[in-house]
Amino acid sequence: MYETLTYLDLALKSFKAWRVLNPPSSFLYLALLTITISGILKKLFNGEGLVIFFKEINLTYNYELSEQFYSIHILANYILIGLISLHILAVLFHKFFLRENILKRIL
């Protein structure tokens, strides 16, 4: 049940975010969506079940597809870490080099 609510919460936040996205932030949401979908597919092709709204979904075991989705999952995690780091560096650049107080606007 907890997994279902987590996936549903992420999907709703992603949908709401698509309406107000600016282009640099869209890569963050795309990475989050890729991590979620590849994690679900890796789990399903690894022979594990997934419960969504009290209904269990099972797929046949496929090691090759499971490993490919795991690779995508790991790559998307590294991309997300890089994008978050880039955002932090951009805030620091605006704060110290351009002397703009964008943190006040954000918070």
* Tens digits of residue pLDDT in 59-101: 778 888 889 999 999 999 999 999 999 888 988 888 888 888 7
Which residue did the predictor score with more confidence, 103 or 38? 38
20 class by beta-carbon count within 10 Å (0-12 exposed, 13-18 middle, 19+ buried): exposed
CA 36 to chain centre: 6
Which residues are bridge partners to 96 per DSSP? none
Q: Is pLDDT above 90 for 18?
A: no
Which residues are bridge partners to 56 per DSSP? 51
